[in-house]
Structure 1
Amino acid sequence: MRWRAMLGLGALAVVGAYGALVAQRASLQAPAPTPILTDRHGLFLAQLGHEREVEGARHTEYGFWVATPLPDRVVRATLALEDRRFWSHPGIDPLSVARAAWQNLTGLEVRSGASTIAMQVARMQAPAARHLWSKALEAGTAVALTWRYGREAVLEQYLRLVPYGNGSHGIAHAARFYLDKPVADLSWAEIAFLSAIPQAPALHNPLRPDGLRRAVARGQRALNALAAQGTIPADELDTARAQLAALALPQPPRRPAALHLVARLRATLARDGAAALDPADPRLRTRLDLGVQGMVEELAQAQLEALRPCGAQQVAAMVVRRADRQVIAAMGSAGFATTPGGAFDYTLASRSPGSTLKPFLYALALQRGDLAPAEIMGDLPDGASGIANADGGWLGPILPRQALANSRNVPATNLLRRMGLDAGFGMLQRLGLHDGAGQPERFGLSMAIGGLPTSLERLMRAYGALGDDGWLADLDWYEGQSLSPRRQVLTAEAARLVTLFLADPQARLPSFPRYGPTEFPFPVALKTGTSQGYRDAWMIAFSRDWIVGVWIGRADNAPMDGLTGGNAAGPLANALLQRLHGSTPGLLVDGGFPAPAGMEPVTLCAQDGRPDRGRCSRTLTEWVRPGTLPPEDEVVAIRAAPPEGPTPRLSILSPENNARFWRNPELPAALNRMPLRAAASAGVEQLVWYVDGEPFAVAAPGETVYWPMTPGPHRFQLRLPFAPELSRPTRIVVE
């Protein structure tokens, strides 16, 4: 009797364990639908899947789209091929079980399975080795699922989970992935074709020619079975057979090489979500334009190749539509696996921004009243801070417009000192240029000249605010992205004034010669940046329609050979903007950026900030509020005092007047140089060399400057910075 009791207890234990396992599995579970990403025109970009590890190998699975409402043709074909008595049995089909058992016992070669759709759902939700116990669990789970959710929900789950090869799950995703159409539009031929794949997805892989042939052949047998059961109307059968025989899949979607874009979109989607992403068709239209992306990559690669001899290793670039901050293109590196450090996304990397933060400090000073547009700033040696200008020279008394456009370091650091480190640090944080970590004293005055690291993406967002009357907005990567509310971080007056500073080619002289990379045939506000030791070269520029950002540097943060924002990043940013605008070289576009409301233009002397009375050799137009210019004698008091004594004498020592020179055709262009030497009377510390009427270089008397020779007649002249004194011209001819 004891063994009977023990046997009974054992049976109860098995039944209890079985019931517990069935109850644990008796719920409909599926991974979240995975999106297919397209560009703004609907071109395939990528699909984001679920990664999982199976037996030590990583697999990526896609799909799991909800097929609702259930298309009638798909339902009829699925039930005819997989589970003919689906609407009548409780989740297991006793007739199919009996038939399968008889075939196994009698050893028939042709066998039919006993798995119902509900049992297949149970198996797909909890895969296990194929043995009697797992089949028993599937059977019990199938009955529980059918009882709990109903047959229609179980059928929806089956059509959501069934695998179609190449990582695709669910017929709705397979229809879009293989045939590029919604599941509701599938023909009988296409349904038969797709029905062939789940039985052996690797064998019937339609992306391989042999797999496609097998899938079509099996699909023809499926059509015959559907016809035998009367599922396909007789008048549609011949058409379905012909269509299946001639089936040709669209070109399979290919992901572009921009892996950084895919990773960025995945991270942004995980962080911000996508409003109203349809689980039945979760295609996500991004703001990107693959045509523009390709153009950016082509131009960036070409520029990087030209700069490699100077030590450049990497390039990053972004294009944002100015009106709504939509990201049109983003290049994270010059090659994910083919260049040094290519796996890093340099649009996100924190680097020294050089002088690209200066505009925001000027804007803050203007809106606080710490700076006036007509105020004279001093670009003079500052021994207390030890900060000098990148060119080692000084421009003396200078207007804010010129100080910023020439990217002078001393005026910017003095301005930050005047406002206070806390004020500058707080403004840069409100603009999102840093996350607030650290104390302002840690960065000190170097915040103004590149000492506070930031990223290209952060700069694009901040410059978007500068070009939008001070309104800061998130970058928009895709439709339905959860964006923070826009907020105003700068006054419109300050933002517009600084934009006008950055858009004035005349104000960039003499540091940035005319008709170089900083010149455009349409209005553009721009700022270059070069970090210490030539480790980073930047340009951020915005026009009426676009914001473009470029970074060039090295993966190991080592110095480059003389590459600056102007000569390295500038040509690429220039080329990108001109391509985006479709400009013809030499075609000048009228108009400009809007002036601050309530301000009027005044012509000022560049040397002292006084209104022009016809006495100035160099003038600039500035916008000021009526009645805010101080009396002339007060302005004289704040400007730099003129040098005492007689007018300085300036003379060119080399080349000699009326000399002729010959270029050596066997030498590289960089070695065909002419030395320029000058002399000046005592007290003169700095000279500006002019070549053919344009400023060429700033140097001290006695310092040799080298001019790259170009054929033709040329005219040389010396001048004091922002002063009327000129030397006699020297004319030469280069053969």
Structure 2
Amino acid sequence: MSLLRTRRATLTLAFWHLFAACVLLYAHLINQRAQLIAPAPTPILYDRSGAFLTQVGHDDDGRGRVDYGYWPLEQLPDRVVRATLALEDRRFFDHAGVDPYAIARAVWQNFGNARRRSGASTIAMQVARMQRPEPRTWPNKLLEAGTGVVLTLRYGHEAVLAQYLRLAPYGNGSHGIAHAARLYFDKPVADLSWAEIALLSAIPQSPTLMNPLRPDGLRRAIQRGHRVLDILREQKVISADEAAIAHNQLKTLRMPSLPRRPDALQLVLRYRDLVRDGAIAPEAETAPLIHTTIDLSLQTDVTNLARQYLDGWRGAGAQQVAVMVVSRQTGEVLAQVGSGGYYAGHAGAFDYTRTQRSPGSTLKPFIYALALDRDVLKPTDMLLDLPEGASGIGNADREFLGPMLPRQALANSRNVPATNLLRSVGLETTFHFLRDLGLHDLETPADSFGLSMAIGSLPTRLDWLVRAYGALANDGQLQDLAWAREQRRRPPVRVLSIDSARLVTSFLSDAQARLPSFHRYGTLEYPFPVAIKTGTSQGYRDAWAVAYSDKAIVGVWIGRGDDGTMNRLTGASSAARLVHAILVRIHGIKPGDIAEARFPPPPGRKPVEVCLTSGQVDAGACSQTLVEWVRPDEMPKAVPASLRPGADAVPAPIKAIATGSASLPRPDVDGDGQPIRLSISTPARNTQIWRNPEQPAAFNRLALKAVVEPRVAQIVWYVDGQPFAVAAPDQPVFWPIEPGEHRFQIRLPYRDEASAVVPVYVQ
């Protein structure tokens, strides 16, 4: 007997230990669940006119579904509360999270002979289940019951009810009564009628069966809504007259169509990123509405134009297009096209407004503006477009136009003057200035790009480019692009003087200065003032155009997702055409219209007729002139009337260089027995050269120049450690460009003197 008693005592003790362990585990699991947790509210975005754009939802645990809503309530809406409790939990304020009467009723109806069955889940238990969905098993039911009790005791009835009205599913991905009211009826929850409240209150019981956007679902929801109204009348929440009106409204209730997201998925994804990164935040958490700057009407027109023009260029190898339209005055983004179509193939899922590509010549205006700001350049200076000193860089047309005014050099997009100007301003200075403009975010040395930075070696993005052009358009003030009224923007910063910005604007808007590279009355000319710059990258991989008028800044990129080449598709022949069509649409110009307007001139400057061949004021002797804006202290001399137009008007130094007759001074010493200084003037150290494989071999060569003091009879050029040519010190030597890294040096014949090694990189 004693052994039996011992075993019973042991089993009893084990049972109580097990029971205690179960209770502790149950308490632990409940404590983990008994927190009021909800996803962040999901904002609804509208365009600048109030039309629906999109809403930024939540991915639902990787199940391929996106949920929306979860808007908190600033205060409990009394009518919604009464309708919800009438259906879901009539004794909500009389129990502590579990309703014993409802449990007894459910047991009787579910296991007895009652025809009608019901559940026993209270509002608090439903909150527990919505916060942590799990299979509907008895153990999980017990966990929900315990969690409901602790939630009620810990937070109170009103907080639990507010959480239910924030989490409850209302169909079609919508959660929470506030979001559902906005989604289905486009109104705040406080403005819902009794009929609309009854309908929405019916949905959470089964959002799929009572989907109000389906005829059968709407019919079921209306039937249950009538029941809600009857209960409310019985409870004397509403009068008989109010109930009758609500019943009639409910019978004839027709659901409006859900707002549809426009065909602009890349734009929607950009807004999603801006919201998730915190760049745009709703002003109110209880009604997270975001008012974007997008003009959906313009967005639709720009999208159609972009696809239409892209189709016309597909035969030349173009596969993708990107467009940005920004208000000039405010910097607000009015339209964005990220590709030819998200699902259209050819890497259409990429957003090419955010993809870094070679910008071609579109960075040149900033080099000119910086040079003007640093007093390295004056509008009447003469820039040389000559093969000598070009560091292997040629022009797109494979020709050289000789001495040019800065206005002409930029308007004609000449490569050689731009690279020489970049050398004068300095690689590091220009590199950092372009970074300050937001055109890149690189920390690499400027030498890694070399002089080719002026013609496309420094990658950038379309949105960065459009923002930087905004500084030129707005008198040197750089401001962030605005995407929404609720966006936090930094104050504008001055990056250029008004003088430089307006001078460059006048260069880019001067149709006469574009001759001879760009013919008159083409896509670069407008019946209203427009400053425009085009760009084409190496091998015709990218075609660009950026333009601004008094209303808008428009940027266009044409290219391929695989970075392949196109068939001679340039920025002027493609992207500029699309820019032209967009600006004409924005300005509403009709054929034959001409606007009597112009860009404001630089302050303190006067218009002067300047001779193209000399940069001097015309006194009637020049056959070719341009109007230039000149400060009184920079006023150039007038060309004497006795000089005839033509070559005689060209200054002697320029004429000598252009004809090749100029040379370095030759001291009357032979160098014997004296220390001789040898240096390479061209190419510059760490120059990066882009070789065009489509260019004839005669043009793919690099001029090598030396500086030798004092003079000697001959020097030997070494390339990659091997003798290449013997020449006089002042005689240029031309080396056929080959891809790779190369090292140049000059030495004296039969002597030890040698220059420093100059590395050059050819791509």
Kindly indicate whether residue 588 of structure 2 is the aligned counterpart of residue 582 of structure 1.
Answer: yes
Please, which of 181, 195, 199 is the counterpart of residue 201 of structure 2? Answer: 195
What is the CA deviation profile of residues 137-160 of structure 1, one whole-angstrom value per residue up to 9, with x for unaligned ones?
Answer: 212211211122111111110000
Describe the SS at the equivalent of 1:393. Answer: coil
Instruction: Show the counterpart of 2:327.
Output: 321
Cα shift at 1:91: 1.6
Cα shift at 1:631: 4.0
Kindly indicate whether residue 305 of structure 2 is the aligned counterpart of residue 305 of structure 1.
Answer: no
Q: Is the 8 A contact 1:363 1:495 kept in 2?
A: yes
Please, which of 16, 22, 44 is the counterpart of residue 8 of structure 1? Answer: 16
Instruction: Show the counterpart of 2:47.
Output: 39
Kindly indicate whether residue 217 of structure 2 is the aligned counterpart of residue 211 of structure 1.
Answer: yes
Greater Cα offset, 103-112 or 388-397: 103-112
Describe the SS at the equivalent of 1:622. Answer: strand
Kindly indicate whether residue 287 of structure 2 is the aligned counterpart of residue 281 of structure 1.
Answer: yes
Instruction: Show the counterpart of 1:671.
Output: none
**Unmatched tracts of structure 2, length 5 or more:** 1-8, 640-648, 660-763
Please, which of 380, 391, 403 is the counterpart of residue 397 of structure 1? Answer: 403
| Distance across 2 between alignment mates of 1:415 and 1:513 | 25
Q: Is the 8 A contact 1:42 1:285 kept in 2?
A: yes
Kindly indicate whether residue 636 of structure 2 is the aligned counterpart of residue 636 of structure 1.
Answer: no
Please, which of 293, 301, 312 is the counterpart of residue 295 of structure 1? Answer: 301
What is the CA deviation profile of residues 465-506 of structure 1, one whole-angstrom value per residue up to 9, with x for unaligned ones?
Answer: 111121111111112112233211112211111111111111
Instruction: Show the counterpart of 2:609.
Output: 603
* Aligned partner letter, 2:374: R
Kindly indicate whether residue 635 of structure 2 is the aligned counterpart of residue 620 of structure 1.
Answer: no
Q: Is the 8 A contact 1:493 1:596 kept in 2?
A: yes
Greater Cα offset, 228-237 or 505-514: 228-237
Please, which of 56, 64, 70 is the counterpart of residue 48 of structure 1? Answer: 56
Cα shift at 1:112: 2.2
Kindly indicate whether residue 431 of structure 2 is the aligned counterpart of residue 416 of structure 1.
Answer: no
| Distance across 2 between alignment mates of 1:251 and 1:96 | 38
Instruction: Show the counterpart of 1:440.
Output: 446
Kindly indicate whether residue 361 of structure 2 is the aligned counterpart of residue 346 of structure 1.
Answer: no
The two structures have a TM-score, normalised by structure 2, of: 0.82
| Distance across 2 between alignment mates of 1:272 and 1:512 | 45
| Distance across 2 between alignment mates of 1:556 and 1:38 | 34
In the TM superposition, 1:142-291 aligns within 5 A as 142-291=148-297
Q: Is the 8 A contact 1:269 1:481 kept in 2?
A: no
Cα shift at 1:572: 0.7
Kindly indicate whether residue 371 of structure 2 is the aligned counterpart of residue 356 of structure 1.
Answer: no
The two structures have a TM-score, normalised by structure 1, of: 0.85
Describe the SS at the equivalent of 1:627. Answer: helix
* Aligned partner letter, 1:163: P
* Aligned partner letter, 1:474: D
| Distance across 2 between alignment mates of 1:642 and 1:490 | 33
Cα shift at 1:275: 4.2
Describe the SS at the equivalent of 1:604. Answer: strand
Kindly indicate whether residue 533 of structure 2 is the aligned counterpart of residue 527 of structure 1.
Answer: yes
Cα shift at 1:637: 5.0
Instruction: Show the counterpart of 1:335.
Output: 341
Kindly indicate whether residue 499 of structure 2 is the aligned counterpart of residue 493 of structure 1.
Answer: yes
Instruction: Show the counterpart of 1:21.
Output: 29
| Distance across 1 between alignment mates of 2:278 and 2:405 | 44
Cα shift at 1:564: 0.8
Please, which of 62, 70, 80 is the counterpart of residue 64 of structure 1? Answer: 70
| Distance across 1 between alignment mates of 2:578 and 2:390 | 37
What is the CA deviation profile of residues 36-94 of structure 1, one whole-angstrom value per residue up to 9, with x for unaligned ones?
Answer: 1111111111111111336xx32211100112322221011111111111122112112
Kindly indicate whether residue 126 of structure 2 is the aligned counterpart of residue 120 of structure 1.
Answer: yes
Please, which of 520, 524, 543 is the counterpart of residue 518 of structure 1? Answer: 524
Q: Is the 8 A contact 1:609 1:635 kept in 2?
A: no
Q: Is the 8 A contact 1:81 1:226 kept in 2?
A: no
Cα shift at 1:590: 1.8
* Aligned partner letter, 1:47: Q
Describe the SS at the equivalent of 1:541. Answer: strand
Sequence identity (%): 57
| Distance across 1 between alignment mates of 2:386 and 2:230 | 91
In the TM superposition, 1:523-602 aligns within 5 A as 523-602=529-608
Q: Is the 8 A contact 2:617 2:636 kept in 1?
A: no
- Size of the aligned set, in residue pairs, is 642
Q: Is the 8 A contact 2:361 2:454 kept in 1?
A: yes
Please, which of 469, 487, 493 is the counterpart of residue 481 of structure 1? Answer: 487
Cα shift at 1:630: 4.3
Cα shift at 1:9: 1.1
| Distance across 2 between alignment mates of 1:393 and 1:586 | 36
What is the CA deviation profile of residues 436-460 of structure 1, one whole-angstrom value per residue up to 9, with x for unaligned ones?
Answer: 2322111111110111111101101
Describe the SS at the equivalent of 2:557. Answer: strand
Q: Is the 8 A contact 1:319 1:546 kept in 2?
A: yes
Describe the SS at the equivalent of 1:69. Answer: coil
Cα shift at 1:22: 1.6
Please, which of 488, 497, 509 is the counterpart of residue 515 of structure 2? Answer: 509
Alignment root-mean-square deviation, CA: 1.7
| Distance across 1 between alignment mates of 2:543 and 2:574 | 6
**Unmatched tracts of structure 1, length 5 or more:** 645-735
Greater Cα offset, 246-255 or 407-416: 246-255
